[in-house]
Structure 1
Amino acid sequence: MAFLGTEHPLRDTLDKEIRARPYIALDVPERISHIAMMTGEGGAEEEVSHLKKLCSHFDVPHPALGTNHFISDMGPFRLRWERHTEFSTYTFFRNEGCEEPFLHPVIEFVPKDWLKTMPGEVMNAVHLELESADTAERTSIELSRYFEGHTYVACEVSGGSALLWTDMRVHQDRFMRVLMRNIDMTSTQAGRTVQRVLEIETYRILALLGFPLAREASPRIKYVDESLAKIAKKMSDKNEVQTDGQLLDELSLLAAEIETISATNSYRFGATKAYYAIVQQRLQELREGRLQGLPTLSETIERRMAPAMKTCDHTSSRQHNLSQRVSRVASLLRARVEVELEKQNQEVLKTMNKRAELQLRLQETVEGLSVVAISYYLIGLLGYGTKGVKALGIPVNPDLVTGLAIPVVAFALWLALKKAKKALLKQEG
């Protein structure tokens, strides 16, 4: 009986994740073929559908829809399928020895039509032969023949419980080859060790996907870096005739270029770093021991991968730092443009103030003329009026009245205009 409150909807999913992808116990000898397919983040349904065809061919139960892990005994072989973020792995097991390693790999028992139509693109393919301890020891000549004359690496794994040989090359059948000899591993330990070796081979290839992008991006980053330096130099050169607007346009193009580079590479560089960390972790879990005269797997991988990984890290840092530099220079240039605009605005305001002063003076002049003109008309009317009064026989001197009325009328008009102007200013205020 449950006495808990409301549970998080992802509790069961997260609980199952810790038990997902269990190791397969291996009874030595074992022949194994492993394929890693790059399918992207949206290829799960197509892969499950393709797996169902194989299950139908061997009349075994189908995988459930939405699953990301499937193990089944097909009869001639056992299959383990795992779905990861952007790739999937197919591992085929057959519990039997072979008269000679890699002569008849287990992949021969898988229908060829089904293999040709597998979703995605092959990123890695490995044949692994796990021999029993009572198998006759291989001479250096035999080992060289198994790896087609290539130089190979060798080491003890699992604290000396097994031996491993591989040349880390793609052979004519497009598979890599790994030969392991069991010394005293249990079936469970053998399954864990084989799984780690296969993951190392898969993840080291996936980690290197970022290296071509780093080499491709390097000249583009260099171009942006040099162009940014030129723009910064132009900004500091007072004799430079190029306007800030033109510099800002050039800087915007550089910002768009570096953002395009980052958008193309950032995800892959992040994945490269994560995959390389998994490779290093799996190598530590192998607990390697040196065989006299031969390089170990870990030192060979580290020697070959470390420069590429550092190149990816350096390129990622360069494009990140360059993006920040472009932003800083753009901010400085925008600030300078804003200061220049402020100066221009101040000049405009000064010009407007001068125009306002001129308009005020002109207005005062017009007001004076208006007083004179209106006074002239009013005095004229008054003159006509006094003449009319004189014509009625009233003793009035029109010229005297007109002369005395001039200053009175002019002052009254000026006072009236001043009060009207004051009232309008007060209303606007």
Structure 2
Amino acid sequence: MRLLPADLPERAALALEVHARPSEPLAAPGRASYVAVLVDADERERELAHLARLCRQHGQLTPAADAVHWSGSVGPLRLKWERHGEFSSYTLLTASAGGEPFADSAANLLPAGWLAGVPGLTVYAGHAELLSPTEGGALGDLLQQCFGGRTVVGSALGDGAGLAYSDFLTHGDGFGRILLIDQGFTPLVAGRMLQRLFEIEAYRMMALLAFPVARRLSPRLMAIERSLAALADSIAAGNARETGRDENLLQELTRLAAEIESGLAASQYRFAACRAYADLVRTRIDELRERRLSGLQTLDEFMSRRFTPAVATCATVSRRMHDLSERVAQASHLLSTRVDIVREQQNLALLASMDRRAKLQLRLQQTVEGLSIAAIVYYLAGVIGYLAKGSRSLGLNLDVDLFVGLSVPVLALLTFQTVRRARRRASDPDTKNGH
């Protein structure tokens, strides 16, 4: 009998998520190589097929079509592949037979040309050497041998369980170098520390992809800020009745708003990714549990001096763009309000002018109606005069002039009443609608 309600469909996957992508163990002496490759979405299938061919060559199970990580043995190597949001990483680990550090690498044990054939663009590549304490030898000579006199950053990791050194530079083979000296690592902890060091570099490079974008946008933002300041001065100094001028200013503000929105659309994903990757870098550094070594910068200090300012620059440019967008929107709103007020005032003036014209037209119409009454009475009086003259043929002896004179007031009264009734019917809404 089942003791629990039905499972959430994602329950199993979510429970296993915290156990996904475990670090590969590495015992001293050992070597590792790491490559992070920026892969477009349309190259994902080709990437998986490339990895599957290597698996089949060495009798390994190929990763599933929807896999996001895979690990297995490839000859003398232990290969771990991980698919991240924008990039994929390949970690190669093998035991070392000793000898000069970085004279050989784990990547050289891959089939010829396979690594170069991985789809995508290299973001970061690094070699690592894990040495036992006895192999460490004289530290100064070892660092000179590994890094050639370059400035080295180093610290004790895992509360002193090991030492880590790097110059954070790309050497002639295209790889960076990380030197680890075991002071009490277990293979699993050593592999985990090494993975963190590799990921710090990969995430650092991914975060810094936003830095060139910020540099390109900075001059553009300065030009927009100057234009906006000039427009704001013009708005403040402008006459509220200069509607045409305000409309031109509004068009210029609209152009600036479109330019800013274009920049936001093209850059905000990169800036948001920069913030996310920078947080991962800080998290991985905290997980190292560093201790200072005399005379050397720690990784945390190095990142604070070199990496954090670049991230801050990207964040500043992003904030400037958002601030500019808000300022342009506010200026556009204020100017639109002023233009609307001026238009309303113009509309009121136009309505008042139309009202005056209507009154003048009414007076003119009334004057014309008076003249028309006189004309109609004159015409009707003439008709009655003709009728009176014609009555003489019937034997009626009428005084034509007297008869016409007496009919004029009656005709005027009748005509006036008829015109007034017609005007009233024309102005009555019920009459206009046919009721």
Q: Same fold (TM over 0.5)?
A: yes
Question: How many angstroms does 1:41 deviate by?
Answer: 4.5
Within the alignment, does 1:264 sit opposite 2:266 as a pair? yes
Query: What's the CA shift for 1:127?
Result: 0.2
Are 2:247 and 1:236 equivalent residues in the alignment?
no
1:59 Cα offset (Å): 2.9
Gaps of 5+ in 2: none
Does the CA contact (< 8 Å) of 1:29 and 1:130 recur in 2?
Answer: yes
CA contact (8 A) 2:231 2:249 kept: yes
Q: Tell me how far apart the structure 2 counterparts of residues 404 and 63 of structure 1 sit (CA, whole Å).
A: 121
Distance 1:304 1:235, change over 3 A: same
The equivalent of 2:413 in structure 1 is: 411
Q: Deviations over 1:168-210 (max 9, x none)?
A: 1100001000010112122221222111111111111111122
| 1:402 and 2:404 matched | yes
Distance 1:2 1:220, change over 3 A: farther
Partner of 1:211: 211
Instruction: Choose which of 338, 355, 358 in structure 2 pairs with 1:356.
Output: 358
Task: Assess, with a 3 A threshold, how the Cα gap between structure 1 residues 104 and 356 changes in structure 2: closer, same or farther.
Answer: same
Question: By how many angstroms is 1:235 displaced?
Answer: 1.1
**Matches of 2:5 and 2:407, distance apart in 1:** 103
**Letter aligned with residue 321 of structure 1:** D
* Corresponding position of 2:221: 221
Partner residue, 1:58: 58
Amino acid aligned to 2:191: G
Q: Residue in 2 aligned with 1:34?
A: 34
Give the whole-Å Cα distance in 2 for the aligned partners of 1:47 and 1:25: 25
Q: Deviations over 1:51-106 (max 9, x none)?
A: 11221332321110011111111122111111111111111111234311111101
- Establish whether residue 382 from structure 1 lines up as the match of residue 384 from structure 2: yes
- The 3-state SS of whatever aligns with 2:114 is helix
SS in 2 for 1:26: coil
Q: Which runs of 5+ in 1 are unaligned?
A: none
Alpha-carbon deviation of 1:136?
4.4
Write the distance in 2 (CA, Å) between the matches of 1:194 and 1:209: 23
Does 2:367 align with 1:365? yes
C-alpha contact 1:45 1:66 (8 A) present in aligned 2: no
* Residues 280 and 249 of structure 1: CA distance in aligned 2, closer, same or farther (over 3 Å): same
Matched with 1:346 is 348
Alignment of 1:2-151 (within 5 A): 2=2, 9-151=9-151
Give the secondary structure class of the aligned counterpart of 2:160.
coil
Letter in 2 for 1:70: W
Distance 1:191 1:139 in 2: 22
Could you tell me which residue of structure 2 aligns to residue 248 of structure 1? 250
Structure 1 distance, partners of 2:221, 2:79, is: 45
CA contact (8 A) 1:133 1:184 kept: no
Aligned with 1:112: secondary structure?
A: coil
TM-score w.r.t. the length of structure 1 is 0.94
**Aligned-partner SS, 1:85:** coil
Distance 1:54 1:210 in 2: 34
Deviation at 1:7, TM superposition (A): 5.6
SS in 2 for 1:78: strand
Q: Which amino acid aligns with 1:90?
A: Y
1:99-149 residue CA offsets vs partner (Å, 9 max, x unmatched)? 111111011111232222211110000101112344242430231121122
Partners of 2:228 and 2:328 within 8 A in 1: yes
Matched, 1:185 2:168: no
The answer (yes or no) to whether the contact 1:98–1:104 under 8 Å persists in 2 is no
8 A contact 2:30–2:96 mirrored in 1: yes
Q: Secondary structure at the match of 1:164?
A: strand
DSSP-derived class of the 1:174 partner? coil
What is the one-letter code of the residue matched to 2:387?
G
Instruction: Give 1:305's aligned residue.
Output: 307
AA aligned to 1:386 is: A
Paired with 1:25 and 1:330, the residues of 2 have a C-alpha distance of 61
Aligned residues of 2:79 and 2:93 also touching (Cα < 8 A): yes
| 1:279 paired residue among 244, 261, 281 | 281
Corresponding residue pairs, total = 429
The alpha-carbon distance between structure 1 residues 419 and 97, as it changes in their structure 2 partners (threshold 3 A), is: farther
The amino acid that maps onto 2:152 is: Y
Secondary structure of the 1:149 match is coil
TM-score (norm 2): 0.93
Q: What's the offset of the Cα at 1:9?
A: 4.5
CA distance in 2, matches of 1:416, 1:239: 55
Shift of 1:239: 6.8
Report SS of the residue matched to 1:93. strand
Considering only aligned residues, what root-mean-square deviation do their CA atoms show, in Å?
2.0
Q: Give 1:309's aligned amino acid.
A: V
Greater shift after overlay, 2-11 or 324-333? 2-11
User: Mean Cα displacement is larger for which, 270-279 or 134-143?
Assistant: 134-143
CA 355–12 in structure 1, closer or farther in 2 if over 3 Å, else same: farther
Per-residue CA deviation, residues 361-411 of structure 1 (Å, 9 max, x unaligned), is 221122112212222222222222222333211343332221111111111
Q: Distance in 1 between matches of 2:142 and 2:21?
A: 35
